[in-house]
Chain A
Amino acid sequence: MIAQVPPNLTELLGQVIGYIYPNEIEIHWSILIVVYPYLTGLVAGAFILASLVKVFNVKEVQPTYRLALLTALSFLLVAPFPLLLHLGHMERSFEIFLAPHLSSAMAMFGFVYAWYLMGILLLEIWFEYRRDLVVWGREHKPPLRWVYRALSLFSNDISEQAVAFDRKAVRTITIVGIPSAFLLHGYVGFIFGSIKANPWWSSVLMPIVFLMSAIVSGIALVLFLYMVITSLRNEPLDMKCLDKVASYLFYAVVVDFSLEALDFIHRLYQSEESVKILAQLISVKLFMNLVILQVLLGMLVPLAVLVAARTRRVNPDLRKLLYFTAALLIQLGIFSTRWNVVIGGQLFSKSFRGLMAYKMEMTGLEGLVTALGLLLAPFLILFVLVRLLPAKRAEEAPIHPA
């Protein structure tokens, strides 16, 4: 006898291939859980790009430094929302801080997040902008003056000594920040990688693969934002900076691609009992998303584009166009990567004998509209932040004191 199936699942039942267990028909981790690692990845990647300036003294990338920091902040602010919306009862989320569950990786996320947001990003941004905040606080009229003064915590001192201290503080925070950024996103990969029962996820390489793809997506995003914002302002693009960022992007994609290929070959060679269903998963369910979008359009084509832009002596205008295309394609590719990990990992039965189907909602709490909203929100936040905290350093301090 066939058990009673809820009406919204009967359609899916028709798309099942092979044998599955009765409780597997419903896919629980929806598109919101795809959005979540995508967002945190952008945060970590943008932050690491910013760190290059401070830690390794890469002068060329300086123009993107502040933009990268603000990008990281605005995406980080939105990052927990996919999870909270998915879990429901947001008002209870603070309880994980009050009664910490030390042996659950998922429960520890709150602390990783809080540390990264408050211990690293906000501090670094504050030290980086403090001098400018003081200056703007003097220049602007109320009410903006009060905003800047409050943001600067009413500090006043912009002497050479104090500013030198700020620089040192930023550098120190960045050095602590790099492992923290690794922690933030490596942790997301860790959660998937440590799920023993799921052969598509269970892999020690998972955190590292997540991290590399995070770096790729973050760099591509900052590149994209830098080009868009600068063009909107009718300012000239700094070609040296663009070339440098693009070359980092290129190396990151190469490393990321190699790691993922390594992971793939390793699975193939190990050929555990799951290998058959995974092959079927790739060829039946994920062909479009994995082979076409992730590997071909998201990696190989951008690689070719970046190589073309570097080797040929192409003129700057064409080069800009090529970088822009590569950055966009890479975003597409990394989003597919997240999709393939999260959704792909839930599309095959634990019996290894069948494949399920995922049908995205449109308007529900876990639907496409919510996901798009969450993807858009960081850009709105960034818009406000960039307005409030311009990338350009403030002019020399006005002579009269506040």
Chain B
Amino acid sequence: MKLPEQVTRIAVVVALVATLALLVRFVLIPRAYFSTAVHQSATVRREVARPVNFAGASACQDCHAEEWEKKALGYHKGLACETCHGPAAGHAEDPMSVKPFAPRDRKFCPVCHAYDAARPTGFPQINTESHNPLKPCITCHNPHDPVPPETPKECAACHAQIARTVALSAHALLPCATCHTASKEHRIAPRSALPSKPQTREFCGQCHAGGTANPDAPKVELASHGGGYLCWQCHYPHLPEGRP
């Protein structure tokens, strides 16, 4: 069959476009333009030339078995030593003359532990402003085995002198909670969650005013006794004295 003439015409146009494209692609443009080999080898050379800074996660094990084992069982088991100590390849090679850095100040730990809404739920976070300010974290937390310290349940653990005083006083049988409401927080961050203290004469009057129930407590005339001063301006509450 003879092809209609328009086919030859369009074929010429198509052939022209195709030849032009192939010409540009394969002849005019230098091959190097497409080669990634040039870039690759240069990159490899550049990277290889860099000094090695990190010794790697397991390099420290041989010489610091104690820290290694402690950390492996603790909450920080997922952290590499060099996360905190910084690149220590130099130290691993020559431990005596190169000392790695150890983050002993308060600034470092909050990088991971400061409160941030974007952290996963349940990740241990603190408010750096109120979580035992001024003291470095490592005074209370061992960085290699960071269990939160046991907090003393007894007030006596911290207020020993007062506790001993009260124990010998007429108020020995009164628990601290009779006169102070201390939240659980107070045992973790004492200064930022101070307990309450009695505020009024009527408070002591609960037991000591005439006509109140407690038979053991000696009674006074609340309205006149002590002349309107607060009771603890004359009686030390942890060691009250009054009977001759």
**Smallest beta-carbon distance A126→chain B, Å:** 7
Chain A residues with CB below 8 A from B24, complex form = 98
B29 at the interface (CB under 8 A from A): yes
Question: Does A130 lie within 8 Å of B118, measured CB to CB?
Answer: no
Q: Cβ of B33 and Cβ of A157 under 8 Å apart?
A: no
* Residues of B that sit less than 8 Å from A by CB: 4-7, 9-10, 12-13, 17, 21, 24-25, 29, 33-34, 117-118
Are A98 and B29 interface neighbours, CB within 8 A? yes
Assess the A156–B5 pair: CB atoms within 8 A. yes
- Which stretch (A68-76, A80-88, A160-168) binds chain B? A160-168
Minimum Cβ distance to chain B for residue A4 (Å): 18
Q: State A154–B34 Cα separation when bound (angstroms).
A: 39
A124 to B126, CA, bound (A): 70
A368 and B133 CA atoms in complex are apart in Å by: 53
Q: Cβ of A162 and Cβ of B6 under 8 Å apart?
A: yes
The residues of A that contact B13 with a CB separation of less than 8 Å are 153
Give chain A nearest CB distance to B151 CB in angstroms. 31
Q: Is A251 an interface residue (CB 8 A)?
A: no
Q: Are A98 and B25 in contact (CB under 8 A)?
A: yes
Q: A98-B24, A162-B4 are in contact. Are A154 and B117 (CB under 8 A)?
A: no
Residue A391 at the B interface, CB < 8 A? Answer: no
**Which B residue sits closest to A118, measured CB to CB?**
B17
Which 8 pairs between the two chains have the least Cβ-Cβ distance?
Answer: A153-B9, A155-B6, A162-B4, A165-B4, A157-B5, A155-B9, A19-B117, A99-B34
A27 at the interface (CB under 8 A from B): no
- Chain A, Cβ-Cβ closest to B8: A155
- A165 to chain B: which residues have CB within 8 Å? 4, 6-7
Asked if residues A130 and B117 are in contact (CB atoms below 8 Å), the reply is: no
Offer 19 A-B interface pairs, CB within 8 angstroms, sorted by A: A19-B118, A21-B118, A98-B34, A99-B33, A118-B17, A123-B10, A126-B10, A153-B12, A153-B13, A154-B9, A155-B6, A155-B9, A157-B5, A157-B6, A162-B6, A165-B4, A166-B6, A351-B118, A353-B117
Return chain B residues, CB-CB under 8 Å to A351.
Answer: 118
Please give, as numbers and ranges, the residues of chain A lying within 8 Å of B6 by CB-CB distance: 127, 130, 153, 155, 157, 162, 165-166
> How far apart are the CA atoms of A100 and B12 in the complex, in Å?
26
In the assembled complex, the Cα of A266 lies from the Cα of B75 at a distance in Å of 41
Which residues does chain B contribute within 8 Å of A126, judged by CB atoms?
10
Considering only residues 86-108 of chain A, those with a C-beta below 8 Å from chain B are 97-99
Q: Are B5 and A162 in contact (CB under 8 A)?
A: yes
Q: Which residues of B contact A118 (CB under 8 A)?
A: 17
Which of B5, B21, B117 has a CB less than 8 Å from the CB of A155? B5
Q: Which residues of A contact B34 (CB under 8 A)?
A: 98-99
- Closest beta carbon of chain B to A30's beta carbon, Å: 26
Point out the residue from B10, B25, B118 that lies within 8 Å of A153, measured CB to CB.
B10
- CB closest residue in chain B, given A157: B5
Which residues of A are found within 8 Å of B12, using beta-carbon distances? Answer: 153
Closest to B34 in A: A99
CB-CB under 8 A from B4, the residues of chain A are 157, 161-162, 165
